[in-house]
Structure 1
Amino acid sequence: MEQLPHHIQQELCTTRPAYRQGRKLTAVKVYTVASESRHLLFHGVPDINVRPELKSTLSKLGKLEKLVPLPDYPDKEAFTAVYHAVFLEITSARLAKRRLDATSFYGGVLHVCYAPELESIDELSLKLQERKADVIKRLKINSRAPVSNNFGESSSQLVQAERKFIKRPERPAQDVKQTKKVYGPQLPEKSEKTHKPKKTSSNIFIPNQIRLAAKRNASLSGPSSKPDVPTKKKGIVFCKNNKLP
């Protein structure tokens, strides 16, 4: 197998504007329908018999038809091997290239590329038919109109013909006395009857320990533990214990 230009890994682009730069650096490369393929080449795989590990990794991304090493591949790095993988669907191959390209695998950095030159004529025809069906399906979803008819009209003409101005039915005039619509949670409406506040009992609960301690202090201090406070009444000063202030 020969090494083709699209097998070589390109340098990363460092001159891309900041608003177009993603989270990681990528190379400037354009893929078409012909360049994508179910056949992938994995470069940079360590040559330490890791084929079962690579197969299990690829099987998680899609159904795998074949995975074989290429010992006669030219210009490969020392102590590395190149593997040829074939997926059942092209979507699985696209996912595997996006997930595994430039990732670490058992100490080596993988480089994944498409190999459309390994396709047969039947595979190429099937790939183009699948792409055509995919494009037609997307056009139907976006335009909600048939893409082609028996008169040979193009899809753009059919889309323009289907786009007609449809007048909305006029709504009946709403009454002025109609109540306003209220959205969201609302507070409960106040009733006409006024609720009288409940009377709270004046009796306050006092624990037994505090009550007993107060009685004990009162018995120790004598008949009256409160200080004498003079009271005034009609200009005459009285004291509780008949003592002058």
Structure 2
Amino acid sequence: MRVSGVLRLLALIFALVATWIFIRSYISLTMKTIRLPRWLAGSDSKEIKAVKTKCGLSKPCPDNFFAFKISSGAANVVGPTMCFENFVIMSPVKNNVGRGLNIALVNGTTGTLLTQKCFDMYSGDVKLLVKFLKEIPEDTLVLVASYDDPGTKMNKETRKLLSSLGSSYAEQLGFRDSWVFLGAKNLKDKSPFEQFLKNHPDTNKYEGWPELLELEGCVPRKVF
């Protein structure tokens, strides 16, 4: 074989080797370029689980706080609901609510349910309510929700006792008003956990009743 032929052959081999090296480097670089964002995506695309909060609150409560949610009744159709620390205390489903005032007592240190009762303020449970409020133990949280008519026959003594639990609206509570409240026995200041809507034809959402109220929050242990 002539020298020129050998040189051409060597040049061809060199070109093929160089091309092969280039293609291999390019593929390797490309694969690295592709894999990097996939790896990053893999780390970021892990299934993000929704944080479940007690009683379905919009955000979780800090340590040493109790989570609660109270809904008033809707007109005289749907009864109120109370949830405390993810436990439904009262609700239409449990069939333990009634027209008037629905009240639950919870130990303010342990969060244990003490009792729950409903008082028909139209038929005359006022005396029973007064006795109940006077016998509330110390260190007790009091959850209240109205249904239908909470205030028609409420007297001064009842209003005073409810006010002593931290209510700002017990004195105003009247016929078919909507009211939700969380207070405590011998609370020194007014409770920040309260909502109230007056029954008024111009503002009522339902015919003859104001709209349903919903109150949620985080109450510290031993708020008293």
| Shared fold per TM-score greater than 0.5 | no
Larger radius of gyration: 1
- Relative contact order higher in (CA < 8 Å, ≥ 6 apart): 2
Q: Which has the higher strand share?
A: 2
Superposition TM-score tier, normalisation by shorter sequence:
under 0.3
TM-score, normalised on structure 2? Answer: 0.19
TM normalised by structure 1 equals: 0.18
